[in-house]
Amino acid sequence: MVAVAYCLRYLPSTIIAKQLLDAGDIGHIHNALITIGQFLPDWRPTTDFRQSVSARQALGGGVLLELSHELDYLQWLLGPQQVLHAVLRNSRELDLEVEEIADMVMVNTRGTISTLHMDFLQKQACRRCTFIGSKARLEWDLIANSVTRHSADGTVSCYSQPSWDKNGMYLAMLEDFMAAIAGKPNNCITLDEALATVELIEQIKKMATQGKVQ
C-alpha cells in the first residue's frame, strides 16, 4: 500500500471548504486566488537555510516543490488545471539557486481561473485561498483554520477553530492510511493524484519565464 502525504487535505477547514464547493454553495466558481508565503530562514532556525532541501536544486528545492500542497488541493477541489502563464523569480534577499517566488495563472475545464502566488520571503506566514462564485465569495484561511462566506445577505462564519492542534491533521492522515491497509474506506492520496501534481509542476517550469527581483 502506497499513499502520498499531502496532509492539508486533512485540515478541518479544508474539508469544510470542499463540502461547500462540492455542494455548489457559492454557485459557479469564477476565480480562485491562492497565496502562500513564509520566510525560509525561519523554517529551520537552528540550521543554515542555504543547505536545506528547500534551497538546493539537487535535492528538489524551490517553492514549486516545497509548497506543492497548494497545487494538490487546487486540483483536488477544482479539477485538472492547465497553465496559462507562469513567472519564477529569485530575490536578491536570499539569492538561492532555486526559485523563491512563483506566480501562476491556470484554468480548469469549467473555465475557472486560478491565480497562485508562492514565496519564501514573507516575514509573517500567510496561507489563504479565496473562491469567487456567482452566489458568494468563500475565504479560507489555512493558518487560522477558518472558512468565511460573504454574499449579498452578509458574512457568515462557516468554520473557525484557530486553536485546533495541527498535529491532529497528521494523526488523521495516519489513521486513514491504516484504514487503507485494512481494506476499509479511506481518502488517501494516490500515486496517480500525486503524479498529476508533479506533471503540473513540470508544465509550469516549461512555460515559465524566469528572472531576478529588481
Residue 2 lies in a domain: no
Q: What is the pLDDT of residue 214?
A: 52
Q: What is the pLDDT of residue 25?
A: 97
pLDDT at 91: 86
Cβ–Cβ < 8 Å for 42, 71: no
Q: What is the CATH number of the domain that holds 159?
A: 3.30.360.10
* Three-class DSSP category at 14: helix
What backbone torsions phi and psi does residue 69 show, to the nearest 5 degrees? -55, -40
Q: Which domain holds residue 26?
A: 7-212
Is the C-alpha dihedral spanning 175, 180, 185, 191 positive or negative? positive
Write down the number of H helices and E strands in the chain: 5, 9
pTM score: 0.93
Average pLDDT for runs of 10 along the chain of length 214: 94 98 98 97 86 85 94 97 95 88 97 97 97 98 98 98 96 96 95 96 90 62
Kindly state whether residue 145 falls inside one of the protein's structural domains. yes
* CB environment 49-69: b (16+ within 10 A), e (fewer): beebebbeeeeebbbbbbbbb
Residue 194 lies in a domain: yes
Residue 1: per-residue pLDDT = 82
Residue 165 lies in a domain: yes
Q: 11: exposed, middle or buried (C-beta count within 10 Å: 0-12, 13-18, 19+)?
A: buried
21 inside domain: yes
- From CA 5, how far away is CA 181, in angstroms rounded? 15
Check: CB of residue 158 under 8 Å from CB of residue 13.
no
DSSP run (H or E) holding 203: helix 191-207
- pLDDT of the residue at 213: 63
Residue 58 in domain: yes
For 57: left if phi > 0, alpha if psi spans -120 to 50, otherwise beta; the answer is: alpha
**Sign (positive or negative) of CA dihedral 2, 127, 206, 93:** negative
Residue 1 lies in a domain: no
The string of DSSP codes covering 66-78 is HTTHHHHHHHHHH
Instruction: Give me the number of domains the chain comprises.
Output: 1
pLDDT score for 95: 83
- Count of CB atoms situated within 10 Å of the CB of 47: 10
Residue 201 lies in a domain: yes
